[in-house]
């Protein structure tokens, strides 16, 4: 994790998991203002947004991308809050918001890391993030980097 991102995330302490995730995800996803196909072949734009509402060939603005991200993250925050049955820090929840945003609802709900967390194995749950580095059956450096950052954030203030 870059020192600048670490400082930003530490500075966000007390603002809540969604606010922290909103600061993390642009760094992890990067931004593309024009739609493209991701490594799995899915039409994507902005900070990893997918969906039928993407207009191929359109150039999105920074403000549009920020608004899309803000809207996209709300269901993932609800998912994490609904799924996590044990006390968790805002940083743990932020890491899980980022993770679930990346892998999707179903994968998050079925993940062994969620089961570990709900069993009280906080370290095991955070470590489990590092297993999710594959796309299209291949390990990806970008996913490895992302999971390392999510793992680090997950361990801050660990119970």
Q: Which of 27, 34, 38, 72 is the catalytic position? A: 38
Tokens 């069993």 belong to 119
Q: Report d(CA 27, CA 21) in Å as an integer.
A: 10
pLDDT digits (tens, 9 = 90+) for 96-152: 999 999 999 999 999 999 999 999 999 999 999 999 999 888 999 999 999 999 999
- Count of domains for the chain: 1
With beta carbons less than 8 A apart as the criterion, state whether 147 and 132 touch: yes
Domain of residue 81, CATH code: 1.10.530.40
Is 29 annotated in the active site? yes
Q: Range of 39's domain?
A: 3-155
Q: Which of 29, 77, 90, 150 is the catalytic position? A: 29
The model's pTM: 0.90
């Amino acid at each position: 994790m870059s020192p600048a991102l670490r400082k930003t995330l530490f500075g966000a302490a007390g603002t809540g998991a969604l606010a922290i995730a909103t600061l993390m995800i642009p760094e992890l996803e990067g931004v593309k203002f024009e739609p493209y196909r991701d490594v799995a072949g899915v039409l994507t734009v902005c900070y990893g947004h997918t969906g039928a509402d993407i207009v191929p060939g359109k150039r999105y603005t920074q403000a549009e991308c920020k608004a899309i991200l803000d809207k996209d993250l709300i269901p993932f925050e609800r998912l994490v809050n609904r799924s996590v049955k044990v006390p968790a820090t805002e940083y743990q929840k932020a890491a899980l918001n980022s993770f679930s945003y990346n892998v999707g609802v179903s994968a998050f709900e079925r993940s062994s890391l969620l089961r570990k967390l709900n069993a009280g194995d906080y370290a095991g749950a955070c470590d489990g993030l590092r297993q999710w580095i594959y796309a299209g059956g291949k390990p990806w450096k970008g996913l490895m980097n992302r999971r390392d950052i999510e793992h680090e954030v997950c361990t801050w203030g660990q119970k």
